[in-house]
Amino acid sequence: MPKMLYLLDGHAIAYRNYFALTSGGTMRFATTDGEPTAGVFGFASPDWAIANLACLYLAAVCVPLQANLAVEDLAYIINETELICIVCSAEQLSLLKNALPLCPLVKKIVVMDDPAWQPDGQSEGPEYVNITVLEEQSAYGDLAPFVVPERDGRADPLLAIVYTSGSTGRPKGAVFPESAWVYMFQAPVNGLLPPAPYVCTCDLPLNHIGGITGFFNLMMNGGVFYFHHKTDMASLFEDIRAVRPTI
């Protein structure tokens, strides 16, 4: 079976393992206290993609949070969508911590992209917020009984709420039901991709419609997706020369 996700240090995740991470215990955070909604806060990484797919698997609404939002805008989105659980990149954790006093509904944070992350005096949140790392969540989820979530009965359920950056005013959210999500992921597939093999670098944030659509398009065609280690794209051309993407 082909591999899909590669970090540029050579670490790879096979499709089979990727599905196990998505459907198994790793992502059972997505329905904290029965609330089928989860925020994902970061730029782009295998953990980000796993969190997004887990929301789909759990029939939970995914709310992507753009990296480096103003604290007021971040708090506004969290409160408007009534997020209780947020999966947050270690890189964005300090910004999220600054917004937490304005977000009383948040009860759980799962730190991604840094397995070695440990809480300290500057990164800990309020006492009422439970902060854990992805690997700990996986260990807990593998032991806990899994209950398949129930749909709400609607023919076209809500799957995502995607917000603008707030550069021209208060962020505005667009709701994406299942039909819109499926259309965006499948529309470019037939006849538009070059001949295989499909190899691509992740140059757009996965909290952006263009980024997540490109990821799913490639995944549905069995492609290989490379993630940059540096979110500021400082190594963009070096990474492209190393990866030699076909699209």
Successive 10-residue mean pLDDT values, the chain, 247 residues: 57 76 58 67 86 82 90 95 90 91 90 71 58 60 53 78 86 90 69 68 84 82 79 80 83
- Cis ω on the peptide bond leading into residue 126 (within 30° of 0)? no
What is residue 92's DSSP assignment? G
Q: What does the H/E/C string look like for 19-55?
A: HHHHHCHHHHHHHHHHCCEEEEECCCCHHHHHHHHHH
Among 111, 102, 103, smallest CA distance to 130 is for 111
What pLDDT shows up at residue 74?
95
**Tokens linked to 32:** 């904290």
What pLDDT shows up at residue 65?
94
CA distance 20 to 208: 25
Q: How far apart are the first and last CA of the chain?
A: 21
What pLDDT shows up at residue 143?
45
What pLDDT shows up at residue 32?
46
* 74 close to 99: Cβ distance less than 8 angstroms: yes
What pLDDT shows up at residue 102?
94
**Tokens linked to 247:** 């699209």
What pLDDT shows up at residue 1?
44
